[in-house]
Structure 1
Amino acid sequence: MDGPQPTTRSGAVVATLALAGTIAAVMQTLVTPLIAEMPQILDTSPSNAAWVVTVTLLVAGVCVPVSGRLGDLIGKRRMLLICAVPLVVGSVVCALASSIVPMIVGRGLQGMGMGMVPLGIALLRDVVPAEKLSGSIALVSASMGIGGAIGLPVAAAVAQYANWRVLFWGSAGLALLIGALIFFIVPDVPAGAKGQRFDVPGAVGLAIGLVSLLLAISKGGDWGWGSGSTLGLFALAVAALAVWGIYELRTREPLVDLRTTARPRVLLTNVSSILVGVGMYAFMLIAPQLLQFPEATGYGLGQSMLAAGLWMAPGGVMMMIVSPLGGKLINARGPKFALVCGAVVIAAGYGIALPLMGTAWGLMVVGIVINSGVALAYGAMPALIMSAVPLSETAAANGFNALMRSLGTTIGSAVIGVVLAQMTITMGGHTLASEGGFRTGLLIGCGVALLSAAVACLIPALRGPADGSADEKAPAAQAPVRA
């Protein structure tokens, strides 16, 4: 391989991969401002319209780990380009949709492109000089949160002042842009697991288990947690994942190497990732409602959706600022220390939320603190994972970690949804979540973040380099290829 690439070129690669993650996250939040209007737009029922959000979650849950493994097999750059295709096609299908079915199909295609973030993180290990790797990983890892925080006000503004189809035509243009940038800027590197076979039975088994689990969690509140559909899906998920796990342990070239995943360093990082996902998403659900609830409730702030998004946007900006600082912290003290710090900062944000939730300024400050913690934690997780897995498994391992984060946000959505649905008040004939429900949700977020910090404290130090991995302070890079 060539020697280290010029700083400016590696900077362009990092910027491109961070932009790819941000655009992928924008795709997820794109329809948030339209949820209430979807039944009228598509002439369907509210329950059918909810699938516009759910299908993206389900497809992404299956495709993220599959994309990671394919990245190890055929090359990460090639898979990044492949992921851009369904983002473009799905956006166009949604822009042209006039009924619920094509909209669901388009949103499912958009979900297929969510594997960009773990692929980008894994690719950094191959092309970025070691001294810049930690900061680069932190920035690209945090791009999902950045995109979600910034995309919401932008989508709200477009939905409020332009035709809703503009959102999807714009997302198609962004996906085309990122595809072109990846093609011209991101270098091609040899596949780490080239020559191995793709585990088709493992992919099918994981898909059945994940879809059943995520569907039960995301729809349990609507169907009833004790309903036959919900319990049946949970039972199917347990059975399918158990069979899948046994098969993966016995096959020579598995989709996910469960023996590597069971290493304490990787396992505890993934558990902490789930908890951080719960903690992050709790505030993302609570804050917009507090900002938009009518002032007559005594705790709502009466903001429009656009204004609410703008109040939350500084949190996303803070993630961009903190991510490079998190990389320096990882280099200085190690990724475990950064993960613990991130979880503690998230908990501190929830702690100050209780006295500050009565003003928009207060919620903005809380969002800045929580998102700063998320940036530290998200930057540390891939560093911990990649320091403990072989080079041939970096994309697959990061894809699995991204899946754990997504599982955490899904669980967080379900838990907070149940709390707010159970603790309500009646006003003007409408049932609204009570102030006590919001405070309980904030306390849950704080507790989960503290639990995540406790789990992270148990992550063992790296005893020796894994196959191709690095020391405790930062994951190693191969000699970077010249872009």
Structure 2
Amino acid sequence: MLHIVNTSHELPVRPGTLGAVSPARSNAIVLVLAFAGITAAIMQTLVVPLIAELPTILGTTASNTSWVITATLLSAAVMTPTSGRLGDLYGKRRLMLICGSLLVIGSIVCATAGSVVPMVAGRALQGAGMGLIPLGISAMRDILPAERLGTSIALMSASMGVGGALGLPIAAAVAQNASWRTLFWGATVLAVVVVILIATLIPAAPVTARGRFDLPGAIGLGVALVCLLLGVSKGADWGWGSPTIIALLAAAVVLVLIWGWYELRVTDPLVDLRVTARPVVLLTNVSSLVIGFAMYAQSLIIPQLLQLPTSTGFGLGQDMLHMGLWMMPGGLMMMLVSPFGARLSHARGPKVSLVLGAAVVAVGYLSAIVLMGSILGLAVAVAISSSGVGLAYGAMPALIMGSVPRSETGSANSFNTLMRSIGTSVSAAIVGVVLSQMTLDLGGGFTVPSRAGFVTGLLLGAGAAAVAAVVATTIPARASALAEQNLEHPVEEDAERPVIAAHAH
């Protein structure tokens, strides 16, 4: 059964402990961090308009150029928890500058690449810089006044969707009207601006974490994630029953178990699994994984529906640029609903925002099935789903950071981001299998996903969102209320606080 117990030296210090931060300075901090998040997210969708042309551009096969996407996924997954823990130990601002620098270097490498190897290396560096987003969210807790914290975290979380929504049409417009290298030089300029703004406008918060960096834990988790995500992302290409895929997934399971055993015994773990096992943190992470699945299914399905030729009977015949423009309102809706989500979390607790957000995502998917034959209808469905994602994404960091020690906010928030990334990878694999198996023959050996395949994919997204809502309802109400209270109005670090702990009797 559950008991409330008192533990000391775990509660974060009061937000804004750097001293009084003026409203103007607070606004500047929030805008800089949101811009940094948007820039990092843009890097993810930057190459989408180039996918079909990459084999010609780089002089290699389509199979080899698929690593341009895979490398970003793998490096982001491996480096996000690592950068989060390093931020706790050595300063979040310092690590944000390093992540921003990786975005700069990676963009330059891609812009000057003449073959597939440097392009993949540059994309891996860009992926490694994605730790900028959870670090920025965690840093807000250290440097912003309590009254600004909820809305600022929600806004920063929404920046990921805004960056993705803006990146696609902008990248498509540039790719259609200029050299592909212009995309990466533009990304370089954005990343340089991010580094300069962080260096000049973001203050350095005191470092409260102690101990050494857990290098064996970082390596172990990194290898396990590479095995897992490589197996999931390449399953369709290499064959789900192939010895390589089976070996990768089996190795991932074994390595995760060994890693967990090690983390529970080391003095300074990369991820404190005992903190992660607290009900509010554990259930939020599970919800995040499923929400990640639900969110990404939309990104795989709606763009294809918009771009397929009208001769299929359900395609809407849009080019890449117009498809991106029709998808853009979804990202903007994430930004618009974030202040409402923050107010709802403050009034009713972030658990309510998370449950509501997941339910709205499910409604968005179901509306997409009904409105599938209309461009405007799909845009409305995307806006509905994205609004739900905005509510959920704003609630997750609030639940996590309000439930862990201040010295672990970077690590805990990065681990939560990792859960979402795993969810998106699994979504890509499962929805990809569905669309590849349920096809329509257009003649001449040319096939596309069928209408039934798209409907099945949308139903999977709705089902995943519904599961996330159900999981979120199991978050203890008292723990959710304490998380919101601790996030915005914590007592000093030396004080005692109630923590939910599980005891078996």
Normalised by the size of structure 1, how large is the TM-score? 0.96
- State which of 111, 128, 132 in structure 2 corresponds to 1:116: 132
Is 1:162 matched up with 2:178? yes
Note the C-alpha offset of 1:192: 2.4
In structure 2, stretches of 5+ residues that fail to align are 1-16, 493-505
Query: Which residue identity does 1:226 align to in structure 2?
Result: G
User: Residue in 1 aligned with 2:7?
Assistant: none
Quote the Cα distance in structure 1 between the aligned partners of 2:275 and 2:56. 49
Q: Deviations over 1:208-259 (max 9, x none)?
A: 1000001001111111111111100001101111111000000010000001
Partner residue, 2:141: 125
Q: Is the 8 A contact 1:77 1:182 kept in 2?
A: yes
Could you tell me how far 1:441 is from its partner in structure 2? 0.5
Residue 350 of structure 1 pairs with residue 381 of structure 2: no
- Contact 2:439–2:447 (CA<8 Å) still a contact in 1? yes
Change (3 A) 1:354 1:464: closer
For 1:402 and 1:464, the matched residues in 2 are separated by: 19
Percent of matched pairs sharing the same residue = 58
**Preserved CA contact (<8 Å) 2:398 2:484:** no
Residue in 2 that maps onto 1:282: 297
Partner of residue 449 from structure 1, selected from 446, 465, 471: 465
Counterpart among 370, 373, 395 of residue 410 in structure 2: 395
- Give the drift of 1:475: 4.3
Partner SS state of residue 477, structure 2: coil
| 2:346 maps to 1:331 | yes
| Cα distance in 1 for residues equivalent to 2:180 and 2:18 | 48
Q: Does 1:245 pair with 2:285?
A: no
Q: CA RMSD in A?
A: 1.4
Distance 1:2 1:246 in 2: 38
1:57-72 equivalences under 5 Å are 57-72=73-88
Q: Verify the 8 A CA contact 1:145 1:316 in the aligned structure 2.
A: yes
Decide which moves more: 92-101 or 140-149.
140-149
Q: For residue 166 of structure 2, what is the aligned residue in structure 1? A: 150
Distance 1:106 1:2, change over 3 A: closer
- Of the three residues 470, 485, 499, the one matched with 1:471 is 485
Structure 1 counterpart of 2:215: 200
**Structure 1 residue 461, shift from structure 2 partner:** 2.8
- For residues 322 and 443 of structure 2, the distance between their equivalents in structure 1, rounded to whole angstroms, comes to 24
Give the conservation status (yes or no) of the 8 Å contact 2:355–2:469: yes
CA gap 1:354/1:377 in 2 versus in 1, 3 angstroms = same
Q: Which amino acid aligns with 2:256?
A: L
Partner residue in 2 for 1:173:
189
Q: Deviations over 1:446-470 (max 9, x none)?
A: 111011000000011345998xx65
Contact 1:279 1:445 in 2 (8 A): yes
Equivalent residue for 1:32, pick from 20, 38, 48: 48
Q: Is 1:183 paired with 2:199?
A: yes
- Match of 1:97, SS state, is coil
Q: Structure 1: state its 5+ residue gaps.
A: none
**Residue identity matched to 2:347:** A
When normalised by structure 2's length, the TM-score is 0.92
In the alignment, which residue of structure 1 is the partner of 2:273? 258
Match of 2:307 in 1: 292
Change (3 A) 1:98 1:125: same
CA distance in 2 between counterparts of 1:382 and 1:225 reads 34
Q: For this pair of structures, how many residues does the alignment match?
A: 475
Contact 2:18–2:205 (CA under 8 A) maintained in structure 1: no
Structure 1 position 215 matched with structure 2 position 207: no
* Deviation digits for residues 147-200 of structure 1 (CA, Å, limit 9, x no counterpart): 11111111111111110000000000000000000001101111121x410001
Paired residue for 2:30, among 8, 11, 14? 14
Aligned to 2:499: none
Against the structure 1 CA distance between its residues 70 and 424, is the aligned structure 2 distance closer, same or farther, given a 3 Å change threshold? same
Q: Does 1:340 align with 2:361?
A: no
- For 1:112, give the aligned amino acid: A
Q: In the alignment, residue 202 of structure 2 is paired with which amino acid?
A: V
Q: Cα distance, 1:3 vs. partner?
A: 3.8
Q: Is the 8 A contact 2:280 2:479 kept in 1?
A: no
Are 2:364 and 2:384, in contact at CA under 8 Å, matched by a contact in 1? yes
- Aligned partner of 1:55 in structure 2 is 71
Cα deviation code 1:424-461 (max 9, x no counterpart): 01103201100000000011111110110000000113
Partner Cα distance (2:360, 2:45) in 1: 25
Deviation at residue 132 of structure 1 after TM alignment:
1.4
CA distance in 1, matches of 2:289, 2:77: 13
